[in-house]
Amino acid sequence: MTAIKSIEDLFIHALSDIYSAEKQLTRALPRLSRAASSSELSQAFQAHAEETQGQVERIDRIVDLLDIRLKRIKCAAMEGLVDEGRDIIESIASSPLRDAALIGGAQKVEHYEIAAYGTLCALARQLGYKDVVPLLEDTLKEEKNTDKKLTAMAEGGKNEAAAGQRAESETA
């Protein structure tokens, strides 16, 4: 890892990290969509894949605006979260239980992204990057909205269906 010696270096490192995270997510979301048994959840993953591509493009605009170069790094946190999603798909049969687990995994991703974009917003404000802050804030809002949608799905019956599945298998 390259030494981080200034707040500018920290900003570029954090932006490079989330860029890697978003790229990894664009590859993982179609797999999650196919793995969901609920059409609602599958469509939510598809919609988020499109939104994530827009977020990648937004980062590209930030790079152009600031005339910076991103570092070639791999976001280890997202790599771990994507691996968890793969484990869910491989270890739980297609069912409401898998959907509940996928929602939980997706919320972990959203919470990571919310933290990352919140940090980037704060750093951009500190650095006086006035043209960049609204772009980062737009992405932060999208991540928070996605988290709310996932919560609504979980509370709107997906977790209840998974609990019902367990109860049915115990009585069988």
Q: What is the pLDDT of residue 163?
A: 54
Q: What is the pLDDT of residue 156?
A: 79
Q: What is the pLDDT of residue 3?
A: 86
Q: What is the pLDDT of residue 171?
A: 43
Q: Helices 96-127 and 76-91 meet at what angle, rounded to 10? A: 170
Backbone dihedral region of 74: left (phi > 0), alpha (psi from -120 to 50 degrees) or beta? Answer: beta
Note the pTM of the prediction, 2 decimals: 0.89
**Residue type at 25 in one-letter notation:** L
If pLDDT is split at 50, 70 and 90, which confidence band does 140 have? very high
Q: What is the pLDDT of residue 1?
A: 58
Among 162, 149, 169, 133, which residue's Cα sits nearest to residue 15?
A: 133
**Half-sphere exposure for 100 (CA within 13 Å, toward CB):** 16
Distance, in Å, from the CA atom of 13 to the CA atom of 18, rounded to the nearest integer, reads 9
| Range with lowest mean pLDDT among 2-6, 46-50, 106-110, 153-157 | 153-157
Among 117, 156, 158, 108, which residue's Cα sits nearest to residue 136?
A: 117
Distance, in Å, from the CA atom of 144 to the CA atom of 146, rounded to the nearest integer, reads 5
- 42-79 pLDDT, tens digit per residue, is 999 999 999 999 999 999 999 999 999 999 999 999 99
Asked whether 45 and 33 are in contact (CB, 8 A), the reply is yes
Q: Where are the domains of the chain?
A: 7-171
Q: What single string gives the DSSP state of each residue in 89-149?
A: HHHS-TTHHHHHHHHHHHHHHHHHHHHHHHHHHHHHHHHT-TTTHHHHHHHHHHHHHHHHH
Q: What is the pLDDT of residue 154?
A: 86
* Arch. (CATH architecture) of 7-171: Up-down Bundle (1.20)
